[in-house]
């Protein structure tokens, strides 16, 4: 299953969501979509499989 997590600012809430999803369902494919590189980086460090930053990435 593939899940997208979208967050902005520093990515704190997105990071927490990714950590909890990864604990409960390690087989998930988690796509981190951040409004900026800071948010995307935080979610990737928390265990997201892939990441993309910026408005354009989120709109696609």
Rounded to a whole number, what is the distance in angstroms from the first to the last CA of the chain? 19
Could you count the other beta carbons within 10 Å of the beta carbon of residue 14?
25
**pLDDT 10s digits, 30-42:** 999 999 999 999 9
Q: Is the pTM of this model over 0.75?
A: yes
CA pair distance 58, 20, nearest whole angstrom? 22
Does residue 60 surpass a pLDDT of 70?
A: no
Query: Domain 2-59 falls in which CATH fold?
Result: Rossmann fold (3.40.50)
What lies within 8 Å, CB to CB, of 20 at 6+ separation is none
Domain residue extents for the chain: 2-59
**pLDDT 10s digits, 7-50:** 988 889 999 999 999 999 999 999 999 999 999 999 999 999 99
């Amino acid at each position: 299953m593939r899940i997208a997590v979208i967050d902005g600012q520093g990515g704190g809430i997105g990071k927490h969501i990714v950590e909890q999803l990864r604990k409960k369902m390690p087989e998930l494919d988690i796509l981190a979509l951040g409004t900026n590189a800071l948010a995307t980086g935080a979610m990737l460090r928390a265990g997201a499989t892939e990441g993309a930053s910026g408005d354009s990435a989120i709109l696609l």
